[in-house]
Amino acid sequence: MSFSKFTEQDYDQINRSYGELKAAAQNRCANSEELDVVQKAFDFANEAHKNVRRHSGDPYILHPLEVAKIVVSDIGLGYKSISAALLHDVVEDTDYTVDDLRNLFGDKIASLVDGLTKIKTVLDNEDRTKKLSDSSQESLQAENFKRILLTLNDDVRVVLIKLADRLHNCRTIEFMPEYKRDKILGETMFIFIPLAHRLGLYEIKSEMENICLKYKEPDAYNEISALVNKNIAGQEKQIDDFIAPISEALKDAGFDFVVRKRVKTPYSIWHKMQTKNITFEQVYDLYALRIVFNPDPNSKESERDQCYHIFSIITGIYRYKPDRVRDWVKHPKSNGYEALHCTLMSDKGIWIEVQIRSKRMDDIAEKGIAAHWTYKQEGYISENDSEMDKWLAKVKEILVSPDVNALELLDIIHNDLTSSEITVFTPKGDQKTIRKGATALDFAYLIHTEIGNKAIAAKINMRLVTLSHVLKTGDQIEIITAENGKPKREWLQFLQTRHARNIVIDYFKGHKKEVVEAGRKLLKENFEARGYRMSDDAVALLVDHFNIPSRSTEEFMFRIGLGLVKLDDLSEILVSEKMDKNHSYWSSFLRFGKKKEAAAPVRKPDKDEYVIASCCRPIPGDSVIGIKSPDGVVTVHKKSCPVADSIASKHGDWVVVPQWGGSADDQAFPVRLSFKGIDRMGLLNEISRYISLVMGVNMKKVFLSTEEGIFDGYIDLLVHDKTALERMIRKLASIDGVQSVARTDM
């Protein structure tokens, strides 16, 4: 922030922005008294932030104004939340207190601002971060996110306003120094985007995803955006022609509706290309239509049945892809999302996704939990009402657990936020929702603790299976129990749901002494097998490495005894703490980027402190982020690497800005190219000849398999930089028979 007297142009900009907010607020406020509170909050915040500017040079008050607009227009919250958004930086950045706000605006608005202030105090106070001990620094950001999540159970509006605040910070992220930008984008990808998804805020989620892609993978973002724009220009009329008979048929059937056109976002296209190893041209459902209808209250058909009626009409006009039908009307998602999706083939041969929603479903899809609760208050009770409450209760259970430290909590919440769900059935046909990847034993514990504890086997669709059998959507499960059955330690090796794992761990807490002794014995055996002596110092080092709560040696032994701590890398862990790290191999290809602000929280690392991350293997030309651990080593990741996002979300002060520099002509970097295509005589020879003879690139490993005329596989090779790699990919993709070639993880 900076200070300089506002100009007439500044005041005009502020007044225009407030005028836009006031117009939006009028549609949401129930009466003039509520609108007066919004006016009062604006006047107060405007005076408090007078002559204060952001990094961009704009008046600071424009930030809370934009946050308030998102709160009312994109999330649909009311006057108290709008007022809290306007006031959310006042306590942190001025001399006013929460008590001052309480006296002026009442308890609820003051408590919302207080919740937001407590979050912001930890998130932004980097000077405080520098003064903390290493152990405190490790958990500072994680404690902050724990604080954010705790507000879910106090008042979810605090989290919703925080999401609006994060979205606007993302919109203006270009004005931030790069190290802070990388930190914020890492946090956004790891926590805020999954949180927006879980709360049903799809528009906010999509916008944040696209901003992250724009700054993490700018080349991919620009290329995909250009291809999308070119594609739209060439097929706009075809889409309109596709819509015409649908609109006519729905009008004839008496539906009150609108049809909206949508194109997949650059991020969703990029993500599909990455996860499925396909090209842009192979993303066949590039276009989507949304049919939003107002249910006829006089119809004998329910809202759900009217969705199916529309489905029957449009699939009578166009052929649909059966395996692409997604029925979230009968089985809504746990965040309240309801819609019926199908993919239709146009007369021109284009696959187009069609989403069918009622007006209520569309509001919930756009504004998430806020709209869901609004409809509930108005008397509309959904079959899915309890799912959000169940999730909030589960979050609270995790948050209050004394056995979970802040860093573990962050991973647990992230995994929970990003996990997919499947639908399964009891022997009586009752429907149950469980996370994707769950086992029969997880299902047993979902039904009842005693059924899980006494389980010995299961029947899936009438076929006998083990308890570790992984469930699939539609499975019907019967659990077989024995009266003398009891939990086994090895169950923890395959249980997937936290609920089930906690029950088993709690059972063994009743036998803690013997489990601790078993863990101590196992650790000692592992030390001796590797030629080490198990000293107190060595054990303390491991306790610290594994982030054991309260640094408890007994808890560490207990976790080893249960198999929760893996000792496979024991030698590497012990050696890495003592070895003299010498990474000169990479030093000539990386140089530290110039700090853009004197307050950058890192010093310039020595030239021999860089290593290339094995998880994403960046090469010269990739956009990269540096993670500087306490031992001084900077690990260089691709900016799009999820591992880097995870670390940046927990240790924002570790983020540094490396840049590729120097000449890499005498060094090569490992990459993997994955192929798919139509097999023919001499194809492999042509591919390998181009790589080795024309490009002069050394191939390290080749794996290609053929089945019924289709081949796929990969080639590991060494390249000098991204430019050479992209040139090679373009040439290989043009070889007859090669359908797709893409850089993938090794």
User: Which residues are identified as catalytic?
Assistant: 92-93
Residue 602: phi, psi to the nearest 5? -140, 150
* 3-class DSSP state of 258: strand
DSSP letter string over 647-681? HHHH-GGGEE-EEE-S--TT--EEEEEEEEEE--T
Q: Specify the DSSP class assigned to residue 530.
A: T
Burial of 4 (0-12, 13-18, 19+ CB in 10 A): exposed
Instruction: Please answer whether residues 504 and 487 qualify as being in contact, where contact means their C-beta atoms are separated by less than 8 angstroms.
Output: yes
- From residue 204, alpha-carbon distances to 197, 208, 513, 644, 678 in Å are 9, 6, 49, 22, 41
Q: How far apart are CA 718 and CA 476, in angstroms?
A: 49
Beta strands in 589-668 (DSSP E): 590-592, 610-612, 624-628, 634-638, 655-656, 658-660
Distance of CA 60 to the CA centre of its chain: 29
Cα separation, 487 vs 505, in Å, equals 9
Nearest to 735 by CA among 695, 671, 676: 676
Q: Cα separations (Å) of 85 from 2, 63, 70, 158, 639?
A: 21, 10, 9, 9, 31
Spatial separation of the C-alpha atoms in residues 592 and 614, rounded to whole Å: 20
The residue type of 635 is T
Sequence length of the chain is 746
Residue with tokens 């509706």: 257
Question: For residue 256, what are the β-bridge partners?
Answer: 294
Give the strand pairing for 634-638 and 351-358: unpaired
Q: How many helices (H) and strands (E) does the chain have?
A: 31, 23
Give kind and range of the element (H or E) at residue 288: strand 287-294
- Dihedral of CA 355/360/364/367: which sign? positive
Short-list 114, 47, 44, 112, CA closest to 78: 112
Tokens of 722: 């991204």
What distance in Å separates the CA atoms of residue 622 and residue 300, rounded to the nearest whole number?
A: 59
Contacts of 3 by beta carbon, 8 Å cutoff, 6+ apart: 51, 52, 53
Q: Distance between CA atoms of 416 and 49, rounded to whole angstroms?
A: 39
Max Cα separation, the chain? 83
CA-to-CA distance for 610 and 623, rounded, in angstroms? 16
SS (H, E, C) 204-236: HHHHHHHHHHHHHCHHHHHHHHHHHHHHHHHHH
